[in-house]
Amino acid sequence: MNHQPVEGFSKKTKNDKVDWLVNTYLSGNQEFKNILTQYWNDDKDLQKLHDEFSENTISNFYMPYGIAPNFLIDGKLLALPMAVEESSVVAAASKAAKFWLDKGGFKTTIINTEKLGHTHFILNVEPHKLLHFFNFKLKKKLLESTEAITANMRNRGGGILDIKLIDKTAELKNYFQLKASFNTVDSMGANFINSCLEQFGKTLKEEVANDVDFSQEEKDSLQIVMNILSNFTPDCIVRAEVSCKIVDLKDDSGISNEEFAWKFKQAVTIAEIEPYRATTHNKGIMNGVDAVVIATGNDFRATEACAHAYASKDGKYSSLTHCTTDNGIFRFWIDLPISVGVVGGLTNLHPLVKFSMALLGKPSAQELMSILAVSGLAQNFGALRSLVTTGIQKGHMKMHLFNILNQMGATEDEKQHFVTYFKDKTVSHHEVIAELNRLRTE
């Protein structure tokens, strides 16, 4: 079927957008229209709020919003909100939280909170000449030109921390950067950083044009390519860790504490040296991190990009978590680069985000960094604990059981039967279908 481009789609009403989609791509099937409209909120003001979060909104895409209780973090007992669709994520986090509850819980340290952005530009000039210009003239002008933009942030204790000239000409002809570091306090700070960087670009252009030390040819060669923050924040780091005596690990899987500690450390070391394993290992960490990031209205795409870039910072993709078992002490930790905010964005708009923030005690950005690192560490601990003992499928498939049963249209009585049936068995899709067929045949 050949479809024609649509004109003015964004200007159509929501109903008209839905009708056009259904009629154009779905043969006018009203079942699909019903699917979309059944997720519209009856509260028209709330629905309008959701519609305005994004462009061309036609419905709401729901995700389960769960709670992982019993997280003892730096002496505070918290229940973590988690928005995630994957089976077993909340259960694994909750189980890990309970495991460490009587062992001192999770400890965190904010290592740094520096965020970065760059003005990328092309200039045909000798690097040493540009460096002299930057050090003795430009840097001061850059700071002066952004004073109005940074005033409020400076009053809150943040602002521009430093500006450096970076010579990248060895990698791209005539390519330089103004690399700026920022403290954005409790906001994620994307708009603030980008506004500062765009002013840097304007000031750079003006100062080069007006400086007598540059030739006309050099002035004409200046091109501001772009001004943009970086989602890679290797100096915005939080550490979360757990530790206890190996004799106190008390794993209930049937293996000794010493064997559990040894196998656990081996699993982490394998993720440190083997990128194929590290990718899945870190994905599991981000299961926990992203779930809380989404629930608190932050940017999970930026969080993911930063974490995986950091995992590759030494030239080879590696584990974000680490483990030691020295002198009879089991220690497990994560250094997580993460940039989040607790003001601005959705934090004051989305009702469930407001609930999440209230549930967490209205944390500062640094406190939220700690909570997110803990959620990732807990998720990783839970996954590795299963992997080195009972295997990942036993717990994961039990959580997946209801997805399979719902796909098969199982009744509540049938679901209860399967809870008992798989109490001491590992769930498999084949076994569920076979047992369901047997039940229904009888």
**How many CA atoms, within 13 angstroms, populate the side-chain half-sphere of residue 406?**
5
- CA 76/CA 4 separation, integer angstroms: 58
* Residue 221 and residue 144 share a domain: yes
* Residue 96 and residue 241 share a domain: yes
End-to-end CA distance of the chain: 47
* Residue 357 and residue 259 share a domain: yes
* Residue 91 and residue 201 share a domain: no
* Residue 198 and residue 308 share a domain: no
Residue 156 has pLDDT above 90, yes or no: yes
Residues forming a β-bridge with 119: 178, 227
pTM (two decimals): 0.88
* Residue 334 and residue 260 share a domain: yes
Residues 6+ apart with CB under 8 A from 146: 160, 196, 199, 200
* Residue 399 and residue 384 share a domain: no
pLDDT tens-digit readout, 35-87: 999 999 999 999 999 999 999 999 999 999 999 999 999 999 999 999 999 88
pLDDT tens-digit readout, 310-330: 999 999 999 999 999 999 999
CATH number at residue 162: 3.30.70.420
- Structural domains in the chain (count): 4
Please tell me the predicted confidence (pLDDT) of residue 437: 82
Q: What 3-state DSSP class applies to 402?
A: helix
202 confidence band (pLDDT: 50, 70, 90): very high
User: Lowest mean pLDDT: which of 205-209, 301-305, 400-404?
Assistant: 400-404
Q: Which residues are marked as active site?
A: 86, 283, 299, 396
- Whether the CB-CB separation of 319 and 281 falls below 8 Å is answered with yes
- CA 98/CA 123 separation, integer angstroms: 58
* Residue 377 and residue 312 share a domain: yes
* Residue 101 and residue 244 share a domain: yes
- Structural domain range at position 197: 115-229
* Residue 359 and residue 268 share a domain: yes
- Whether the CB-CB separation of 376 and 320 falls below 8 Å is answered with yes
Residue 435 has pLDDT above 60, yes or no: yes
- Whether the CB-CB separation of 336 and 373 falls below 8 Å is answered with yes
Please tell me the predicted confidence (pLDDT) of residue 393: 58
Tokens standing for 406?
A: 């719902």
Amino acid at 62: Y
* Residue 152 and residue 20 share a domain: no
Which string of DSSP letters, residue by residue, matches 225-270? EEEEE-S--TTEEEEEEEEEEGGG---SSSS-HHHHHHHHHHHHHH
* Residue 383 and residue 257 share a domain: yes
